[in-house]
Amino acid sequence: MHLLWIFFVYAVILFVIGFYCILATLNLVRALIGIEVLMKAVTLLIIIAGYASGRTSLSQALVITLIVVETVLIAVAMGIVLSVYKHTKSLDTKSLTDLKG
């Protein structure tokens, strides 16, 4: 049980780092990296919950689904970031105020 707490603390630290990375940066690529770190923390928390409850097969299925959704999310977001860079020549979020819908 002591080992679970170590992994739990590690997951919470990853979650805080990812959340801080999203909030503190103005660069879109760094925000995507923060989302990735946040998703890895959620993945680790799901694995910990599955191990603690004895339902490892359910947690593994959820993690595989989460990885697929995460990959699609990051691919689409990176496409949007590249499109923003193509139009504004900047990855700064302050330059997005000029965009027209």
Domain count, the chain: 1
Please indicate, yes or no, if residue 93 is contained in any of the structural domains.
Answer: no
We report the CATH number of the domain holding residue 72 as 1.10.287.3510
Joined together, the tokens standing for residue 44 give 């680790």
CB atoms under 10 Å from CB of 64, counted, come to 11
Domain assignment of residue 53, yes or no: yes
Q: Is residue 96 part of a domain?
A: no
**Mean pLDDT in order along the chain per 10 residues (101 residues):** 87 95 92 95 94 94 96 95 89 78 63
The dihedral sign for the CA sequence 30, 33, 39, 42: negative
Predicted TM-score of the model (pTM): 0.86
* Alpha-carbon dihedral angle through residues 3, 8, 13, 17, given to the nearest 10 degrees: 130
Tell me which residue range forms the domain holding 11.
Answer: 2-87
11 domain-assigned: yes
| Three-state DSSP state, 92 | strand
pLDDT at 101: 63
